[in-house]
Amino acid sequence: MEKSKAKFIIDGKEFEYPLIEGTENERAIDISTLRSDTGCITLDYGYMNTGACTSAITYLDGENGVLRYRGYPVEELAEKLEFVSVAYLLVNGKIPNNSERKEWSRLLNKHSIIHEDMRHFFYRYPEHAHPMAILSAMVVSLSAFYPELSQHRPEEPEEQLDIAAARLISMLRTIAAFSYKKSIGEPFVYPQHSLKYCENFLNMMFSSPVIPYEIKPEITKALNVLLILHADHEQNCSTSAVRLVGSARVNLYASVAAGICALWGPLHGGANQMVIEMLEEMRAKGISAKEVIEKAKSRDTAFRLYGFGHRVYKSYDPRAKVIKKVCDDVLKVLNINDPLLEIAKKLEEAALCDEFFIERNLYPNVDFYSGIIYRAIGIPKEMFTVLFALGRLPGWIAQWKEAREDCSFKIQRPRQIYVGPQNRHV
Ligand code: SDX
The pLDDT of residue 183 is above 60: yes
| Residue 306 three-state SS | coil
**What was the pLDDT predicted at 170?**
98
Question: What architecture does CATH give domain 2-51?
Answer: Single Sheet (2.20)
Q: For ligand 1, is residue 82 a contact (CB within 6 Å)?
A: no
CA-to-CA dists, residue 270 to 9, 146, 262, 273, angstroms: 43, 29, 9, 6
**What was the pLDDT predicted at 75?**
96
Percentage, residues of the chain above pLDDT 90 = 92
| Averaged pLDDT for residues 201-206 | 98
pLDDT digits (tens, 9 = 90+) for 38-83: 999 999 999 999 999 999 999 999 999 999 999 999 999 999 999 9
**What was the pLDDT predicted at 407?**
85
Please say whether the beta carbons of 379 and 221 come within 8 A.
Answer: no
Nearest atom in ligand 1 to 60's CA: 4
Residue 297 identity (one-letter amino acid) = K
CA atoms within 13 A on the CB side of 422: 0
Residue 127 identity (one-letter amino acid) = E
Residue ranges matching CATH 2.20.28 in the chain? 2-51
Please say whether the beta carbons of 255 and 234 come within 8 A.
Answer: no
The length of the chain in residues reads: 426
Q: Quote the CA–CA distance of 36 and 54 in Å, as a whole number.
A: 22
Q: Specify the pairing of strand 27-29 against strand 13-21.
A: antiparallel
Please say whether the beta carbons of 175 and 138 come within 8 A.
Answer: yes
**What was the pLDDT predicted at 159?**
64
Question: What architecture does CATH give domain 271-322+329-377?
Answer: Orthogonal Bundle (1.10)
> Alpha-carbon torsion 71, 72, 74, 75, what sign?
positive
Residue 107 identity (one-letter amino acid) = L
Residue 33 identity (one-letter amino acid) = T
Q: For ligand 1, is residue 175 a contact (CB within 6 Å)?
A: no
Distance (angstroms) between ligand 1 centre and the Cα of 236 equals 12
Q: For ligand 1, is residue 367 a contact (CB within 6 Å)?
A: yes
Q: For ligand 1, is residue 264 a contact (CB within 6 Å)?
A: no
State the burial class of residue 374 (Cβ atoms within 10 Å of its Cβ: 0-12, 13-18, 19+).
Answer: buried
Distance (angstroms) between ligand 1 centre and the Cα of 289 equals 19
Nearest atom in ligand 1 to 307's CA: 18
**What was the pLDDT predicted at 367?**
97
pLDDT digits (tens, 9 = 90+) for 319-372: 999 999 999 999 999 999 999 999 999 999 999 999 999 999 999 999 999 999
Please say whether the beta carbons of 200 and 170 come within 8 A.
Answer: no
For the structural domain made of 73-260+381-405, what CATH number should be given?
1.10.580.10
Please say whether the beta carbons of 229 and 388 come within 8 A.
Answer: no
Q: How many CB atoms lie within 10 A of CB 22?
A: 14
Q: For ligand 1, is residue 321 a contact (CB within 6 Å)?
A: no
Q: CA angle 86-87-89, nearest 5°? A: 60
Confidence band (pLDDT; 50, 70, 90) for 190? Answer: very high
Distance (angstroms) between ligand 1 centre and the Cα of 28 equals 23
Please say whether the beta carbons of 163 and 123 come within 8 A.
Answer: no
Residue nearest to atom 18 of ligand 1 (CA): 307
Active site (catalytic) residues:
310, 367
Q: Quote the CA–CA distance of 254 and 232 in Å, as a whole number.
A: 19
Residue nearest to atom 51 of ligand 1 (CA): 309
Mean pLDDT of the chain, nearest integer: 95
The pLDDT of residue 303 is above 90: yes
**What was the pLDDT predicted at 127?**
87
Q: What is the DSSP letter of 94?
A: S
Confidence band (pLDDT; 50, 70, 90) for 147? Answer: confident
Q: Quote the CA–CA distance of 1 and 371 in Å, as a whole number.
A: 41
pLDDT, greater one: 157 or 266: 266
Query: How far out from the chain centre does Cα 270 lie?
Result: 10
| Averaged pLDDT for residues 278-291 | 98
Residue ranges matching CATH 1.10.230.10 in the chain? 271-322+329-377
**What was the pLDDT predicted at 176?**
98
| Averaged pLDDT for residues 387-403 | 97
Q: For ligand 1, is residue 293 a contact (CB within 6 Å)?
A: no
Q: Quote the CA–CA distance of 353 and 362 in Å, as a whole number.
A: 10
Residue ranges matching CATH 1.10.580.10 in the chain? 73-260+381-405
